[in-house]
Structures are given as C-alpha cells and as structure tokens.
Structure 1
Amino acid sequence: MMLVFALAMLAEPPVAATPAPPRVERCGYRIVQSYPHDTSSFTQGLFWHDGHLYEATGQYGRSRVARLDLDTGKALAQTKLPSDQFGEGITRWGDQIIGVTWQGGVGNRWSIKDLKPAGTFTYEGEGWGVTMVGDSLVLSDGTPDLRFFDPATMKEQKRVTVRFAGRPIPMLNELETIDGQVWANVWMTDFIVRIDPATGNIASLLDLSTLKADAGASGTDSVLNGIAWDEKGKRLFVTGKNWPKLYQIALADCR
C-alpha cells in the first residue's frame, strides 16, 4: 500500500487548491559514463570525497563502509559493521563518516582517513539515509519527515515534512545534498526528488525508469538507491542495490 501511495503521489499531483501548491519540475536523464559496481553491494549510502566514492551497504552480516576505486568498483579500504547491524546511509562530517542502521537505533562514526571506528551513538526510530545540510545532519526514516540533528551530539533539532504538490511523501531513502537542495531516492521507485530543506517542498522530480534495465539488474530488491555528487568536477553519480553498474548522469528534458 505504501508503494502504491508513493507512486500515485509522484505521478499525479492533486487538483490545485488555494493556495496552489508549488510547481514541480520534471526531468529525464542522459548517461554520461558507466563504471563497474560490485553486485554483492546492497547499496544504502553513497558519497564522493577527495577523488573517491564511499559506499555503505546493508544486510545483516554483510554490511560495510568502503572507499571505492571509481574505475574498477573495487574496495580500496573497508570496515565491516557488527553482524547484528543492518547498515544504511552514510555522510561525511569533517574528518568523520557518520552512518546509521535500519532498525537498531545505533549509529556509527569512522575516521575518513582509514575507516577505523571512531565511536557510536543512538537515536530513536529507523535510519534510512543521511546527509549534511549546513551544520546539521539530516536523517530520513521511511516517513515523510526529514529529521535534523546536531552531528556532534546527535540531539534532534527539528523536523520538516516533505511534500509533493502539497501531499506528504513517505519512503524517502538515500540522501545527498547538492547546491543546497536535498536529493532523495524514493524507495521501491525509479524516482529521485529534489527537496527544499527549509520548506520540505519537492522542487523537481527526476525519472530514471529505464536505468535499471540498462544496468541489467534484476530482482525486486535491486532498486535504484545511491546518489553521490562530485562538487569539484560537477559530476552526478547514481547506482542501485546489487547493480553491476554505477552511472554518471546528467539531467535532460527538464520541464
């Protein structure tokens, strides 16, 4: 039911009300380049830093955080999570990587230099995706809310409800911040949404509905998930869970 609801909300905005909901831009994409991706990686988090991709993967007993070589998709360094933790999103905060887990309410910190553990923390609810917006760590948890935290103390600061043409949208998954907007995968769909973190309004909808087929991925769990932005090179990377390819894409046909 949740999936049907999300797809319906993204596909058809409601009849205009007063005041009218903000207009949502719709974009397609074009593939700039493709790279190898480890098909054993159940991708949960992705970001780019200093010439490398960093990836977090899920599944009990198989979750890890890794520094990847873009050209080969192989791990240059990695640290496994405890077997009772289901890894989810990661983000960089200074010289640390901060990651969350699905239902355990436990978060991890690693040194970005060598991926060695640098501490843990706890939080309420589920953990899905994380990103940094300014000085705040932003967490998605499967609900329509983005939760803002102080990354040093993990004290919750506020919540913002994400809306598509006025309607709350749940199942926000992996997150990435690009030019001040939060980009989010919508779980079990082929959509990425661009969110104004101040208001929660979705400004743009990116439709990647043919990318999974191009990747040759199969299986109901092999969904689009993973967004990374190379700010210096202005490159946008996306992939999916257990996909054999990672893509650099560009937006196209925005209207």
Structure 2
Amino acid sequence: MKKYNFLSVILLGIALNSCNETKNIQNSVFSIDNSKFKLQYTPNDALDINIINSNSKTIDSIVFYVNDKKIASNKGNTPFKLDFKDQKLGFLNVKAIVFFEGQNSEATSSVELVSNIQPKLLKYTIVNTYPHDNAAYTQGLEFYRDTLYEGTGNGAGNGTGIKGISSLRKTNYKTGEVYKKVELADQYFGEGITILNNKVYQLTWQNNEGYVYNADTFKKEKTMPYFKKMEGWGLVNDGTHLYMTDSSETIHILNPETFKPIDQIQVYSLNSKVAAVNELEWVNGKIYGNVYQKDAIAVINPKNGAVEAIINLADLKKKITQLPDTDVLNGIAYNPKTKTIFVTGKNWDKMFEIKITE
C-alpha cells in the first residue's frame, strides 16, 4: 500500500489513483527485461536495463533513449544503468535500439518516476489588503514595470448572476482602478496571462488559441493556435520560455514565438500526481501554482515537477465579502520591487499582499 502525504491530499487534492503499471512491449528479436522493475522509482534510485537476447544474436551495440532523448550507447550487450537524478518526474518511456548482424531492432518499456520530497508547509502574513473588482473572474495576474495586469474570464459578478465579459486589464492595485482594458468577444473565454518582451500572452479556455498583445497599447499582434487540442488554463514565463497548464498534471514548456512545445514537466507531490494546476507565477526560480478548487498554492520545481512546498490560504476566503458569485482562490502575482506576493480569487472583492515565510 502506498504511503500518502495526507497534507498534500487535503490541500492539493492529489489524484490517488495514478496509474502504476510497467509496460513491456515484446519484440520478435529482443526485449527489455523488466522482471525486477518496481512500480515506482524516485530520483535517488537507479535502474539496471538488461536486454533479453532469446535468439542468441550477435549484438554490435545498443543505443538507449528515455522519452526519445538519447542518453547512452554501449558496445555489445552490456547492461545499462539508468540514473534517475536528472530525469523529470512522470512516466519514462525507455527504448533500446539494438544493432545486430547488419540489422537493428527496437525494444521498449516504461517506469514511473515520482518525487521523494516531502512538501513543506509555508506560512504567510498579510502585509496589505486592497480592493479588487468583484466582477473580475480572475484567470491571470502578473506585475510588469510596477503595474498589475489581470486576465479575466466570463464569470458572473456583483451578485447579479449576469455573466461578465472576458478581458485583459491594466490596474492600479492599490485602488482597484482599471487604467486600460480590452474585452474579448462573447464566444471567447479568457484564461491565464503572462508578459514577456513587452508582449502580453493570453490563453483561451476551449477555443484552442492564444493571443499576443502589445503590453503598452493592448493592440492584438498575433493569434497563435495551440499545438494540439487541449484546454488553456494557467500561463507564466521564466524570461525565455512560456509554461502553460491544461487542467491536468502537465505543464507544457513552449516557444513564445511559435507556441510549439519544447518540453514538459509532470507535477507530483511525493508519489502522486497533482492535477488541475491552474494560474501560475514565477517566483525566485520556482513555479507557484494555484490548484483549482483548492485554497492552496503549490511551489513547484520547474526542472522536474516536484512539489517542494504548500501555502495554505484557506483563511483568506473568510476575509472577503461572500457574494452569490464569489468563487475559488485564483490569481498569484509576485512584485519583485516589494518581494511580496499578491493573491486574489474569482469574483473576490479584495486582493491580499502577503509575505511568505517558512
């Protein structure tokens, strides 16, 4: 039986039914011996990969791949030790191309790599409380040149039950005043935003496309289709690449010029996936992510997907006005000038400036 981190279960709503099967696709010539494979491994582990040569062929060399990336090449049928310390979490597809007697043949298997980090529970203190437009169904929040940018979806607000319009906004975070706003057409549901190289990137939920605006004028410069059919949720950048969530445990790493995938990470808390990662923020080299329907933020290592810490913000919802349309916590913006984090929620009437401590 798995040993679950119940703090993560409660605060992040992690999926306890993650698949743990080890696959071995038999090849007519060779196969990977997975008879001693475990269901899950951690970055501290290593795995011996042996090729079964049932037909006693003369093997010249074997090239090994993990998730289609070449990692080693051995002469003859020499076992290969796969070290997991630099691998990303999730299912790893192991492939061996065996060269023999002027031919080559492929053998494959897979294993699941999970986190070995016990997430820390971080504390916070409220530095300031500011007004927030409770008609704003917050989907994205980010500071750029001391100004707060916000992306909203088609949520209802002001207790009227009337659906609002998706928008992109520049706001005065101290007063709640909206300096500039552009609205999306009714059929487009706005999602996460991020700003890179003076361009605002905005996702849509189910329209399978994102938009690029000039950060100063809000003039739309480009419409970029997603690289596959999926939902758009959260968005952030590391100064070079975009990081996008899609309702699952996957964070896609994208080229900002093309919106094409470069890589991805899978979010894990110990040995379980964390699905529904939503709005994102880049803070001191880590990804801070809201988990949808949970009043908590996961602090994620962008190199491998491990949740390293959790911030429980459940008490904040007690400090806002409970209107009929008040929805979940969503919205994280790091202000590098004050080194504080601003958080709010969908149709919340307040935004909180908080300081994080261990």
| Counterpart amino acid of residue 181 in structure 2 | Q
Tell me the amino acid that sits aligned with residue 222 of structure 1.
D
Question: Letter of the aligned partner of 1:51 in structure 2?
Answer: D
Deviation by residue 1:42-93 (Cα, 9 ceiling, x = unmatched): 0000000112100000017600000001121121001111221000000001
1:70 to 144, 168, 173: 173
Q: Which residue of 2 aligns with 1:23?
A: 118
Alignment of 1:144-163 (within 5 A): 144-163=249-268
Which residue identity does 1:156 align to in structure 2?
A: P
Q: Does 1:215 align with 2:320?
A: yes
Which of 185, 197, 216 lines up with 1:82 in the alignment?
185
SS in 1 for 2:252: strand
Runs ≥4 in structure 1, deviation > 3 angstroms?
A: 6-14, 17-20, 217-221
Q: Secondary structure at the match of 2:314?
A: coil
Post-superposition Cα deviations, 1:99-147, rounded to whole Å, max 9, x if no partner, equal 1000110111111011121111100211000000241100001000000
Match of 1:244 in 2: 349
| Residues 1:114 and 2:194 are matched in the alignment | no
The letter for the 1-side match of 2:225 is T
2:207 matches 1:104: yes
1:83 maps to amino acid: D
1:217 shift after superposition? 3.4
1:149 and 1:12, CA in 2 relative to 1: closer, same or farther beyond 3 A? Answer: closer
* Post-superposition offset of 1:7: 4.5
Question: Which structure 2 residues correspond to residues 144-223 of structure 1 after superposition, within 5 A?
Answer: 144-219=249-324, 222-223=327-328
- Once superposed, what is the RMSD of the aligned Cα atoms? 2.1
Contact 1:13/1:164 (<8 A) preserved: no
How far, CA to CA, are the matches of 2:138 and 2:15 in structure 1? 30
- Between the aligned partners of 2:276 and 2:320, the Cα distance in structure 1 is 23
Task: Indicate conservation of the 8 Å contact 1:131/1:176, yes or no.
Answer: yes
> How many Å apart are 1:150 and its aligned residue?
0.2
Provide the rounded CA distance (Å) in 2 between the counterparts of 1:78 and 1:198: 35
Tell me, in whole angstroms, the C-alpha distance in 1 between the residues paired with 2:279 and 2:355: 19
Q: Distance in 1 between matches of 2:258 and 2:13?
A: 39
- 1:13–1:111 CA distance, 2 compared to 1 (3 A): closer
CA pair 47-9 structure 1, distance change in 2 beyond 3 A = closer
Q: TM-score, normalised by structure 1?
A: 0.90
Which is greater in Rg? 2
- State, as a whole percentage, how many aligned pairs show the same letter: 32
State the AA in 1 paired with 2:199.
Q
Equivalenced residue count is 246
> Aligned residue for 2:130?
35
Equivalent residue number for residue 49 of structure 1:
144
Moved more, 84-93 or 110-119: 110-119
Do 1:142 and 1:173's aligned partners in 2 also have CA atoms closer than 8 Å? yes
Structure 2 stretches of 5 or more lacking a match? 1-7, 17-39, 43-114, 155-162
2:332 aligns to what? 227
Q: Which runs of 5+ in 1 are unaligned?
A: 1-5
Residues 13 and 114 of structure 1: is their aligned pair in 2 closer, same or farther, counting only changes over 3 Å?
closer
Confirm or deny: 8 A CA contact 1:196 1:203 kept in the other structure.
yes
CA deviation after TM superposition for structure 1 residue 231, in Å: 1.1
CA distance in 1, matches of 2:201, 2:13: 33
Q: Give the Cα–Cα distance (whole angstroms) in 2 for the partners of residues 90 and 162 of structure 1.
A: 20
Q: Which residue of 2 aligns with 1:92?
A: 195
Distance 1:65 1:12 in 2: 31
Partner of 1:142: 247
Contact 2:123-2:311 at 8 Å conserved across structures: yes
Q: CA deviation at 1:216?
A: 2.1
